[in-house]
Amino acid sequence: MTNQETLPVAAIQQACSPDKTESLTISERLIRQAAGDGARLIVLQELHATHYFCQSEDVAVFDLAEPIPGPTTDRLGELARELGVVIVGSVFERRMAGVYHNTAVVLDSDGQLAGRYRKMHIPDDPGFYEKFYFTPGDAGTRDMPSGFSPIDTAVGRLGVLVCWDQWYPEAARLMALAGADILIYPTAIGWDRTDDGDEQTRQLDAWVTVQRGHAIANNLPVIAPNRVGHEPAPETGTPGIDFWGNSFICGPQGEMLARADDRQQTVLHASLDRHHSESIRRIWPYFRDRRIDAYDDLLKRVRD
């Protein structure tokens, strides 16, 4: 991170439109609001340019994909340069015919594309048919790093992951080991209306708790913006998804700095102490005490 004592950040919790132009216009308005209130790092949610189209499998949806650089990164880059902020956005990326990614993009404060992260863990569950649309990100090599590599920006090294990645402690740890200053999880997650209230509560609590756990285990702040509002399923007879919002920002001990509700579109603000992670790691030295000589079985699918 830079030498300033604190970093003002914002997470945007947005209700999306099926129309890309309309959704991006909403995103731009909320980015301007966040920058006007002092944020220097502004994080948008997963796939913020349209409705969450993965509720069904439809080959026509591939027409929504675009290259990087492309129209969305150009627009976000111009905003970042004009406002002097770093923006984390989301693009349905067309890499080539037949290869598409769910990609987080980082636009630096000079408007340049600082980097991208292609979602590594791809779910395939009722209402979340992402394997139909997305190729997993590349793991990379020593000479050509990708996968779990932080992105250097004017406000620090960003450990950007996406949604389903948030359930995997390995992803957060690899970002931390590579020197990330902040863990960032753009998200699209919500409730099935057929689940009862107790089950919905358990799911939401698990989502918040696991990410706070990544903050604690890695001594890093976490920014987790989620979409909000009901989005109907394209197929009749299915209930659609109630995206549960609850976007939050927490510190490196899991302390909640800001949290949204499950109903309102909003811009969430917090100020991150740039020295807190260093201070915590001096008294809780998890990284010093890791037994890297004893973890070989983590590379197995199942330990026999």
Which ranges of 157-245 does DSSP label H, i.e. alpha helix? 169-177, 197-218
Q: Whole-angstrom Cα distance, residue 119 to residue 140?
A: 13
Q: Which helix (H) or strand (E) is 281 found in, with range? A: helix 276-283
Residue 194 corresponds to which tokens in the numbers above? 């057929």
Active-site annotation holder among 119, 130, 231, 250: 119
Active-site annotation holder among 16, 20, 46, 93: 46
98 contact partners, CB below 8 Å, separation of at least 6: none
Active-site annotation holder among 16, 20, 130, 163: 163
How far, rounded to the nearest angstrom, does the alpha carbon of residue 89 sit from its chain's CA centroid?
9
| Residue 119 known to be catalytic | yes
| Residue 131 known to be catalytic | no
Residue 222 has phi, psi (to 5 degrees) of -125, 135
Describe the strand order of the beta sheet including 156-160 as a list of residue ranges.
151-153, 156-160, 182-184, 222-224, 248-250, 256-259
C-alpha to C-alpha distances, 97 to 66, 102, 135, 167, 254, nearest whole angstrom: 11, 15, 12, 30, 42
How far, rounded to the nearest angstrom, does the alpha carbon of residue 260 sit from its chain's CA centroid?
16
| Residue 235 known to be catalytic | no
Enumerate the active-site residues: 46, 119, 163
